[in-house]
Chain A
Amino acid sequence: MSAPATLYVGFLVAAPLAILIAYSFWTQTYVTLDKTLTLQNYRDALADPLVRHLLLRSIMIAGAVTAVTVATAYPIAYFIAMKANKKTIWLLLITIPFWSSYLLRVFAWKLILGFNGVMNSALLWMGLIDEPLTFLLYNEFAVVLTLAHAWAPFAILPIYVSLQKIDPSLLEAATDLGNSKFQAFRRVTLPLTIPGIIAACLIIFIPTVGDYVTPSLVGGSDGKMIANLIQVQFGAANNWPLGATLSLMAMLSVGFVAIVLVITGTALGKRIR
């Protein structure tokens, strides 16, 4: 009955995951793969302070990206949903950055933040600085900024949808009952958009933890993340089993943080009321 669907999902989702899990219990010696099951990779990875450090840094960076993106996206979504007349045009404008490739946008930020980039040239021209600022690029700040810009539409759209669904009569009722505009926002609008905010957080947090290209291009020596270490295992180190283990550990950490996010988000939403 549901056999084709099961096969389809099994082939595309379960099988690759099963391969990844299998690899994580094998070991690599030079060019040969030892298929004896062992927990050695997990022991090595857990004992390694570098893995912990990079995993933690990835979560912190993704957390910062999520916070910055959602905080900046909310007013935009609010404006479009509540104030703007030509909603379609505004939504179209927001998606414009998406017409170019993600990689191009990362390079664009490199041009803006670079040593002889747009920002430094402008500041030099205005006479505000004597020599180019070097703290703009090749650090965690550059990674957060680039990712926050790249993912902005993913935060704006779910929040916009949840704002759109709010029945205006609820806000009228709040005002009738003596609430100021701010109180109405805090007690009606905000709690009703919590699902949108949680969705936006998840959509941004989950993929950015594992982002590889942004840290490698703008992260410099301080902005490397866990995906960069995973890439080394699948590439130069030719140690797929360890790479698989690290990938699974990253997945589990992301899953854990996501669950915590949903639970606290929902709890917060209830408390506001």
Chain B
Amino acid sequence: MKMQTLTAFAITTALCTGTANAGGADLTVFDWSGYEDPGFFGTYVEKHGESPTYSYFGSVEEAFTKLTSGFGADLAHPCSDAVRKWVAADLIQPLDESKLTNWAALLPEIKEVDGIVIDGNLYMLPFEWGNTGLIYRTDKIADDQVSIQLLADPAYAGKIAIPDAASSAYALASLATGNGADYTNLSDEQFQQASDFLRSIHPNVRFYWSDAGQLDQAMTSGEIEMGWAWNQSELNLIWNEVPAKMMRDIDKGIATWVCGYVHLKSSTTPEDQIYDLLNALTEPASGQYIIENWGYPHSNAEAFEISDQATIEAYGFDDPKAFFDGSLFFDAVNPELEAKMLSEFERIKAGF
């Protein structure tokens, strides 16, 4: 965190003394809160003299609702599973690959993720990625004992938490029932198996978490001992010296997500300026900053080479290829199945 403050300070100082063009703030980004950190786009600030303007959403669904109701911005930051829906709702326009100076340096696997390119058009520039997996207290559960199926063990009644999000819950359940590979297109039978699994763990669920802080606190206090959560939670626990980690064994089940920037149709800022920001975000230096200070893996392969290797290993992304090859991907679920997941998940949560 100290690094973050220092960099922010350095950039503010540069900003005050610089003679760069004004108007950097004309560009608006619709984003998760926290991504306005100038360390993410240093070269943009150098060139345009100031940071873009940020407007925030709390979830991708909220962002979608706001955009379809007429909210306008230049760029937005959804995750890859939302892109198909956003294209269908006519919200975003394709990106020009030739103007993306860091495109060649991005992890080859990340470019293959569903939703980045649709019908030959590049829609999303991947920025960061991470895992959703089973985080457990290492002082309560041994490494060789832990598994997703353990969530259903009556010994853990009231000791687990899973996200209050249907897609994430069904990803977990698909992995648990051995159908991880078919997650986006589950057959009726597979869907039933996944739902049965979620029903079987429901009595153990202490709460369905909607903000990660709630989960982190419950893990820290020992209120819960296992949780299906993002790697951000694992980092928080590491930083707070809580004996906990994420089960990263691909055979036991782990999921991967990718988020990035899309060019909205409501954009009004000149294209060059937009590509300046997209290029700044994917610079190796930005990647190094986000890896070392935020603990999020970046899309640029070169960022990993220049970052502190011990940190990379401690945070568990020294082998990105393994995750991209072997884990469940949060790709867009087919819309009919998604609707089924949503309504069934509400039922399961209510004890039906």
Hey, which bits of chain A sit against chain B, CB under 8 A? Answer: 30-31, 49-50, 53-54, 114-116, 132, 134, 138, 216, 220-222, 224, 229, 232, 234-239
Contact = CB atoms under 8 A, between A and B. Distances in A.
B214 to A, nearest CB: 8
B208 interface: yes
B202 A221 contact: yes
B89 A31 contact: yes
A138 B350 contact: no
Contact of B61 (A134, A220, A235): A235
Interface in B32-73: 59, 61-62, 64-65, 68
Main secondary structure on A side of the interface with B? loop
Of A31, A50, A221, most B-chain CB atoms within 10 Å: A221
Of A114, A138, A216, A238, most B-chain CB atoms within 10 Å: A238
B350 A54 contact: yes
A224 B205 CA distance: 14
Contacts of B207: 138, 220-221
Contacts, number: 63
Nearest to B91: A31
Given A138-B207, A221-B205, A238 B61 contact: yes
Nearest to A110: B214
Contacts of A234: 65
B223 A229 contact: no
Given A116-B223, A229-B346, A235 B210 contact: no
Interface string B128-165: 00000000000000000000000000000010000001
B350 A50 contact: yes
Contacts of B343: 237
Interface string B338-352: 010011001101111
Main secondary structure on B side of the interface with A? helix
A216 B166 contact: no
B166 A220 contact: no
A236 B166 contact: yes
B261 to A, nearest CB: 21
A236 B223 contact: no
A117 to B, nearest CB: 9
A50 B346 contact: yes
Given A134-B158, A216-B210, A235 B59 contact: yes
Given A222-B351, A232-B346, A115 B223 contact: yes
Nearest to A117: B221
Interface in B312-352: 335, 339, 342-343, 346-347, 349-352
Contact of A49 (B65, B205, B342, B352): B352
B28 to A, nearest CB: 23
Nearest to A53: B350
Given A116-B223, A236-B342, A238-B65, A138 B352 contact: no
